[in-house]
Amino acid sequence: MVYDLSQPVFNNVPQWPRFRPTSVTTPHLTATESANVERITLMTHTGTHIDAPYHFFPEYWWLQR
């Protein structure tokens, strides 16, 4: 069984306070450009993510490479 713990990404989603806010825009719509395109700007610590072991254990610095 798989449990999906993913959190949605949306404008101004809660995140680390020092980072720029997350932004989701739709610069092209089907009616005008024949394609649906979204631009998502976010930091790597936004939403659901996994930190590398080095984040907690300095002796694993080589895993960052």
The 3-class secondary structure across the chain, one letter per residue, is: CCCCCCCCCCCCCCCCCCCCCCEEEEEECHHHHCCCEEEEECCCCCCCCCCCHHHCCHHHHHHHC
* Annotated catalytic residue within 28, 45, 49, 55: 55
The verdict on whether 55 is a catalytic residue reads yes
Q: Which residues are annotated as catalytic? A: 55
